[in-house]
Structure 1
Amino acid sequence: MSLTVIYWLLVAVMVVGVIGAVIPGIPGSSLIVGAIIIWGAVNGFNTVGLPLGVAVVVFLLSIGIDFLATYWGAKQAGASNWGQIGAIVGLFLGFFGLLPALPIGGPLLGIVLGPLLGAIVGEFIYRRELEFEPRLKQSFKAGVGIVVGTVVGRLIQGILAIAAITVFLVTTWQMGVGT
């Protein structure tokens, strides 16, 4: 197999990594790091120093962004830990299609609705001191805040993943296409 074919296959894997940076349940920036490591193993690690460094930084930032964006969204909406735990449980149930109200739509719909419903249920359980209507409003507000924070974080991760691929392409283009 020629180096050009390997190069473009690895770029395709990186594009999947960008998609995964935005959509939960698909590996994200770790795919980009892995593809760059493979290119380094095939073509020499001295050719991937900068792209690998950038990709590792993006990977580490992505981990932090996941936590901080969700925390920020929850904090802005006044959510409790119960709401955040509910969102995590909802994400898990939604991803694996275990939400009884979602027989269709598969994991993508579950990934969107699961955390929202989970956060609302978790917050509703936590806010027992409130009357029903204010309790429901606060629960919905917290759920939306957690989901908005998560979406913003995912978009930032997608932008960072695109930047990592761009650095790789700019620094390795001649080696990948010129061979």
Structure 2
Amino acid sequence: MLITILYWILIAVMLVGVVGAVVPGIPGPSLILGAILVWIIVQVSQGVANVNWLPLISIFLILILSAGVEFLATYWGARQAGASKWGQIGAFVGLVLGFFGLLPAWLFGGPLVGILIGPLLGAIIGEFIYRRELPLSERTQQSVKAGVGVVVGSLIGNLIEGLLAIAAVVIFVVSTWPPGAGV
């Protein structure tokens, strides 16, 4: 009975992890992996002899891939929009500042809004600084284009990361159903 309750609690934690894979500021893949590790520790401590490590390894690889996909998608979006390294660095700095609430968005929506607005503003400012040789209108246009590219790439990366997180949870459920079965 207790193992079934724990199982459903861990599934709930994994679902929060799926949301966190898509929404910035909530730890996604790490929650999923942590829940799976708790399940394995409980299974081993219960003396389950047939712990199947293949699903755990598969899930671990999926979660590593999801982290890489997010960064690659953001990079791809920036490159497609013609962003320079300055725009990409600005997006990263904006993300950090937004996360810690150091942007004006903090006053209205807290770190979550800062995480969404920070990379956009950072990429625009970074690109604006880099494109000093362009006339003001072209400079502004290129800067905004770079900022939008970073945000679009990041959103695509978050969606792919969310799909990979769902895949990890599905693999876990399929490999452990019914609750109490080995992993």
Where structure 1 has 5 or more consecutive residues not aligned to the other structure, the ranges are none
Can you list the C-alpha shifts for 1:110-162, whole angstroms capped at 9, x where unaligned?
Answer: 11111101100000000001010000000000000011001100100000000
2:156 corresponding residue in structure 1: 152
Identify if the C-alpha distance between structure 1 residues 113 and 121 changes in structure 2 by more than 3 Å, giving closer, same or farther.
Answer: same
Q: Determine the C-alpha separation between the residues in 1 that align with 2:51 and 2:19.
A: 25
Structure 2 residue 85 is the aligned partner of structure 1 residue 81 = yes
Give 2:15's aligned residue: 15
Q: How does 1:32-71 map to 2 (within 5 A)?
A: 32-44=32-44, 46-71=50-75
Where in structure 2 are there 5+ consecutive unaligned residues?
none
Contact 2:89 2:123 in 1 (8 A): yes
1:129-140 equivalence runs, <5 A: 129-140=133-144
Gap change, CA 1:101 and 1:56, over 3 Å in 2: closer
Question: C-alpha separation between the residues in 2 aligned to 1:167 and 1:126?
Answer: 46
- What is the match of residue 3 of structure 1? 3
Root-mean-square deviation (Å): 1.7
The superposition leaves residues 55-90 of structure 1 with CA deviations (integer Å, 9 ceiling, x where unpaired) of 201121022112211110011000001101111111
Question: Shift in Å at residue 101 of structure 1?
Answer: 5.2
Q: What letter is aligned with 2:8?
A: W
Q: How many residues align?
A: 177
TM-score by length of 1: 0.92
**Percent of matched pairs sharing the same residue:** 63
Match of 1:165, SS state, is helix
CA contact (8 A) 1:4 1:176 kept: yes
1:4-30 deviations in Å (ceiling 9; x for gaps): 111111111111211111122221112
TM-score after normalising by structure 2: 0.90
Give the 3-state SS of the residue equivalent to 2:108 in structure 1. Answer: coil
Structure 1 residue 176 displacement after superposition: 4.2
Q: Is 1:99 aligned to 2:110, yes or no?
A: no
Offset at residue 102 of structure 1 (A):
4.6
Which range moved further: 65-74 or 134-143?
A: 65-74
Distance 1:106 1:69 in 2: 25
